[in-house]
Structures are given as C-alpha cells and as structure tokens.
Amino acid sequence: MEEEVRQPKLHTRAIHAGDRKRTGSFIPVTTPIHTATSYFYEDMADLERVFANEMPGWNYSRHGNPTNEALEALMTSLEGGGCSMSCGSGMAALHLAILAALLDRRKVILAATALYGATISMLMKVLEPQGIETFFVDFNDEAAVAAAIAEHKPGALLLETISNPLVRVAPLDRIAAMAKAAGSEVIVDSTFSTPLVMRPLEHGATYVVHSLTKYLSGHGDMLGGIVVTDKANLDALQSLSRALGPVLGPFEAYLAMRGIKSFPVRMERHCSNACKVASWLATHPGVDRVYFPGDPAHPDAAAIKRLFAPNLYGAIVSFEVKGADQAKMFALMNAFRIVVPATSLGDVHTMASYSAMSSHRELSPKHRARLGIQDNLLRLSIGIEAVEDIMADLDQALNAVR
C-alpha cells in the first residue's frame, strides 16, 4: 500500500513552491531572473515541439518565461488551483480573467455594486463600448442576486472577497452555487483577503485575481497581477495573454516571489494589528464610524464566519472622521508621522487612502454617496509596525484636526 503524500501547509508552500528547478548540473536556491526574450534549441525540431506544446520549454517571453512560470506555480499552489497567468498589473489580470470567462458565454456581466473604482471604470468605459454589458446588484442580497441572474442570464459574475473600501463580504459560496446552476462563471478579486484568509476556488469561484503589488509582494516595490483558475481554462488564458501581451516582467516576477515567501507571517501580523486598531478607533471621540470585517456586529458576520480562516479578517480598516470635509481630511493626512498617505495598500507600513480622491475619484459624488462612500471616509491598510505606534500616530493626527 502506497503511503499518502502529505500536502505541506500554506506557510511552507509559500517558501518552497515553484522554486529549485534544476539548471544544468546545479539547482539554484531561489529562482533566477531570466531576462532573455527568446530561446532556441540545438535541434530546430525541439523548438517546433515546444511551439506545439509537445514538450516543455520556452520560445518567446510573451508566451512564457522561466521566472514567471515559477511565480505562477507558486500562486497555483497557494490558491489550490490548476494553473495561473501572471500579468503586468492587477487590473490587467482582472481584464484577462473577464475575457477568458466570457469567451464562450453571453457577453453579460453581473457585478457587485461594491467594487474598486477602477474596476467599475473598466466595466463601463472599456468593456461596455466593446459590447460587454454590465448590470450591478447588491451581492449581499441573495434574493436580488438570484433575480438578477434569472433576468440578465450573465456569462459571468464579478465580486471582491472584501469590498473596497467599506469591507462588505458577500456570501460567495451561495452566490457561486447560483451561478453554477445558471451556467455562469464566477470571477473574484481576492486582493484584500489573500490565500491565507480565504481561497475563493474552494467556495466555487472559477477565477481568482490578485494584485501582486499588495499583500503578496508586500513591500511597495513591484507592480503585477495574477489570475488563478482550473487547468481547463489554461488554453483560454494563454491564447488571450499571447494575443494581448499583458506580460509581467521577470524582475517583477522575482520580486513577487521573494515577497510571497514571507507573506503568511506578515499577513498574520497585519490582521492582528488591524483588529487592535479597529477596536481602538471605535472608542475615539474624533471617529463617527468604523468599518472592519472583525467587528462582531458586521452586517456580513455570518458569511465571514463561514468563509474566512479563524481569527483572520484582513487588514483594511475604514473609518469616518467626525464632522470632516475634504479640507479636514487633507489636514488629517498631512498630520501623519508614521502612517503613509499613499495610493496603495498591503505594504509593510501602514497606509492611508482617501477614497474620494483616489480609488473612487472617477465616480461622481452622487455615485459615491449611493455606495456609502462619504467625503469623511478614510481607508487604512494596517501595517506590521508596533501597533502602539500606529495608534499613537492616528491619535495625534485625529486630535490635531478636532
């Protein structure tokens, strides 16, 4: 009787998966940066077999690169998928996933109303003029989702694991079951949760997308994205990637892999700090309201308990500043000493983003208000500093503008 091979835990796979491919007579400890744009073989017949996918190998870096493929193997392992495709940005990865999902389906998307502003812009300003219709629905209202699926017969559903910036969590498992019954694909942007907190493929998603720029690489020094899906969708992803060319560079792929090795440990600290900061902000006299998935009174607490790993809630904490307008919000951000007021998230340092100015600036004020994004809302990406220092900086800045 053969001994069952034990699957290493995620923390171990983050360090080892994808690495240590033999190169000639030696094995490099980490994956090298392969900068070559093209490859040849001693026998032209071998190059023909590589082109025909009859033997493993590389021919042109838009079609594949050893560094990128190591990163893709790593992310496939972490998400429990069958294949991955790396891209030059998270938005490029999302675009690729949408096109792959709709290749042989109705060109109709049912999207969550709570989405990243750039995603909404892509749906409305890029895809809609190309004939891909989008209808929006509150994905936290299961009856409304069921009705919208029946009415619009979408080829794909699109949502985020944790919405930006108000941290709503849709019941992905139940939505995926509805989509499967209707023959629709499910695309999930899992940037805010990472594979440590939640793995959408395990709950019925077809495609999971990450901005590698954020928690996975974690150091604010590379731009990239990735799509993870089942092996059956590899041909579609490859053909679209080769035609459109949203290719991640090998230097960025190397940086992403280096960051991912420590991401589970970093993410645990991010999450722990976020819980403490959210609880503290809820008691601050300068704060009107706090939005955080770990709040026991969160409107989606049941889905969070069902879908998230125990005691991990992500590291995004949004809050409304009492009586603040845009000028006061700018003054608050100018007053920070440790918190970095920059347009991103997921770095090792704590970051603050004013959604009305950055992530959702392309939406009209009325549209933002309908989504619940007020002019006094600030989104924090909690870093891994000493949590006492994070809270002290927030406190002095809030007190400075009261």
The pLDDT tens digits for 369-390 are 777 778 899 999 999 999 999 9
217 has pLDDT over 50:
yes
Token look-up 């990406």 returns 381
Question: Letter for the amino acid at 176?
Answer: A
Q: Give the chain's length.
A: 402
Token look-up 């999207």 returns 111
pLDDT mean over 247-259: 97
Domain ranges (residues) in the chain: 10-260, 264-400
Q: Which conformational region is residue 158 in: left (phi greater than 0), alpha (psi within -120 to 50 degrees), or beta?
A: beta
Give whole-number Cα distances, 136 to 113, 208, 371, in Å: 5, 19, 12
Tens digits of residue pLDDT in 2-32: 556 678 999 999 999 999 877 767 788 889 9
Q: For 113-149, list the strands marked E by DSSP.
A: 133-137
CATH domain 264-400 topology: Aspartate Aminotransferase, domain 1 (3.90.1150)
Q: Which pLDDT belongs to residue 361?
A: 62
Q: Which pLDDT belongs to residue 83?
A: 97
Cα 321 to Cα 284: distance, rounded to the nearest angstrom: 10
> Considering only 5-9, 55-59, 145-149, 249-253, which range has the smallest mean pLDDT?
5-9
Q: Which pLDDT belongs to residue 358?
A: 63
Three-class SS of residue 85?
A: strand
Tens digits of residue pLDDT in 89-147: 999 999 999 999 999 999 999 999 999 989 999 999 999 999 999 999 999 999 999 99
> How many CB atoms sit inside 10 A of residue 17's CB?
21
Concatenating the DSSP letter of every residue in 198-212 gives --GGGGT-SEEEEET
366 has pLDDT over 90:
no
1 has pLDDT over 50:
no
Q: Determine if the peptide bond prior to 264 is cis (ω within 30°).
A: no
297 has pLDDT over 70:
yes
Burial 216-228 (b: 16+ CB within 10 A, else e): bbbebebbbbbbb
Percent of the chain clearing pLDDT 70 (strictly above): 96
pLDDT mean over 237-248: 95
Return the CATH class of domain 10-260. Answer: alpha beta
Q: Which pLDDT belongs to residue 374?
A: 82
Three-class SS of residue 137?
A: strand
Two tokens at 339?
Answer: 């918190």
Question: Letter for the amino acid at 92?
Answer: A
Tens digits of residue pLDDT in 305-331: 999 999 999 999 999 999 999 999 999
264 has pLDDT over 90:
yes
What is the DSSP secondary structure assignment for residue 285, as one 8-state letter?
T
pLDDT mean over 229-238: 96
Q: Are 72 and 202 in contact (CB under 8 A)?
A: no
In this structure, the dihedral spanned by the alpha carbons of residues 386, 387, 392 and 395, taken in order and rounded to 10 degrees, is 150
205 has pLDDT over 60:
yes
Question: Letter for the amino acid at 173?
Answer: D
Q: Which pLDDT belongs to residue 117?
A: 85
How, if at all, do strands 377-381 and 316-321 pair? antiparallel
Cα 3 to Cα 331: distance, rounded to the nearest angstrom: 63
How, if at all, do strands 108-112 and 316-321 pair? unpaired
Answer positive or negative: Cα dihedral of 150, 151, 157, 159: negative
Percent of the chain clearing pLDDT 90 (strictly above): 83
Please give the mean pLDDT across all residues of the chain. Answer: 94
